[in-house]
Structure 1
């Protein structure tokens, strides 16, 4: 870690809250369809629709909204009222206007590290929505590089980190998703730091890479400086 040059951060539920808005909207959706299916059944059907739709529509609010509409049509055998479809669209629009609430220790951590490292933001999701959240966060000027990608794979991290000073071996990825932020970064040869969030989308769950030499876990971003100091 003495040769670390680049520290990259995930955005949603690493820098600011996001999953809570998806869960609140899904709860509202279940209430709208309560006469047609049980809540647990609707949860499974939405998740199935999301899995199918990611490869077509990517990640983010728009894809989630389309998955809810598709689920509503399916569970009602096509009889879902237009008024319910409109409420689902309105709920998606509200999500795209949700406030940006930073997680603890985010701003001070980025400000502390910005003078000593190349600071990057690497996130999935809708480009328009991620640009909006970054602008509203007030953090934009702290990043030297911003990448909104369709998937986070080992190849993604190599592509982003290799042109930077020290390459992928001198880079670290910090995020709340083991599946997207940590495991593929480790596979690429970077460091991976896991910052668990209390709410995690089911499709982002994975086992911790126990024993991986370049893996670290912290409880919030205040712990990142201690990890860096310990590695010097």
Structure 2
């Protein structure tokens, strides 16, 4: 990986904790509507509503909150009391107020790479929410460029690579989602390092194994450093 000049990092569950907060929110939503639907069915209804709304609302807390409200309407046949909507709004606000908890070795790794590479944060989600989290994280000073994307597909990464004025083989993406961070970058001609997180949103999972020369998997984010130095100590899956 000697050609790499730009390293892009996903944010949620790559740099800081995110998905556990949504799992907590889903549990609270199910508790909110327990008089109308069992937990598993309520969770399925919420997930289905979220997926249907992605083209309209995109990713992030605001879209999640609107999906909770819509799911309440579906579950109660539009006859549910107003306090259910108030409860959904409170759940959404609670996520927005969560502290930013950096994952292990993140800041140390960014400091180590800064100066040798152009570092980029490339994440998807709600603009205001991601800007807020970046500010609270204290990591903004490490990044040459911030890209908050409405989606992450091959075309989105091709556009980003052109904007950064680098060749595809000079671009490396580091993230925790095979669907959003890894596959589209490989399709765009770049390299990708998968750093699994212990919780993954169902929508981000894929049902097949990745075999690609430019794909690597590590256990922790700091393990990308020996990879960039050409040390053969990482798994390639």
TM interval, short-chain normalised: over 0.9
Q: CA deviation at 1:130?
A: 0.1
Q: Which deviations, in whole Å up to 9, do the C-alpha atoms of 1:158-211 show, x marking residues without a partner? A: 111124354221000000000000000000000011000011100000146532
Q: Which deviations, in whole Å up to 9, do the C-alpha atoms of 1:6-50 show, x marking residues without a partner? A: 000000000000011111011011111111101111111111101
Q: CA deviation at 1:144?
A: 0.2
Name the structure 1 match of 2:119.
119
Contact 2:2 2:230 in 1 (8 A): no
Q: Say what the alpha-carbon RMSD is for the aligned residues.
A: 1.3
Q: Which deviations, in whole Å up to 9, do the C-alpha atoms of 1:97-131 show, x marking residues without a partner? A: 11000001000000100110010011110000000
Contact 1:186 1:214 in 2 (8 A): yes
Structure 1 gap ranges (5+): none
Name the structure 2 match of 1:77.
77
Name the structure 2 match of 1:99.
99
Name the structure 2 match of 1:29.
29
Give me the whole-angstrom Cα distance separating, in 2, the residues matched to 1:177 and 1:69: 27
Q: CA deviation at 1:220?
A: 1.1
1:211 lines up with 2:211 in the alignment: yes
Give the TM-score of the pair, scaled to structure 1: 0.97
Name the structure 1 match of 2:235.
none
Give me the whole-angstrom Cα distance separating, in 1, the residues matched to 2:207 and 2:172: 19
Give me the whole-angstrom Cα distance separating, in 1, the residues matched to 2:207 and 2:67: 27
Give me the whole-angstrom Cα distance separating, in 2, the residues matched to 1:116 and 1:5: 8
Compared with structure 1, are the counterparts of its residues 142 and 7 closer, same or farther at alpha carbon in structure 2 (3 Å cutoff)? same
Give me the whole-angstrom Cα distance separating, in 1, the residues matched to 2:166 and 2:26: 43
Name the structure 1 match of 2:147.
147
In structure 1, the residue corresponding to 2:121 is in which secondary structure?
Answer: strand
Compared with structure 1, are the counterparts of its residues 177 and 10 closer, same or farther at alpha carbon in structure 2 (3 Å cutoff)? same
Structure 2 gap ranges (5+): 233-237
1:11 lines up with 2:19 in the alignment: no
Structure 1: 4+ residue segments shifted above 6 A: none
Name the structure 2 match of 1:129.
129
In structure 2, the residue corresponding to 1:120 is in which secondary structure?
Answer: strand
Give me the whole-angstrom Cα distance separating, in 2, the residues matched to 1:87 and 1:139: 33
Q: Which moved more, 1:78-87 or 1:58-67?
A: 78-87
Give the TM-score of the pair, scaled to structure 2: 0.95
In structure 2, the residue corresponding to 1:16 is in which secondary structure?
Answer: coil
Name the structure 1 match of 2:87.
87
Name the structure 2 match of 1:172.
172
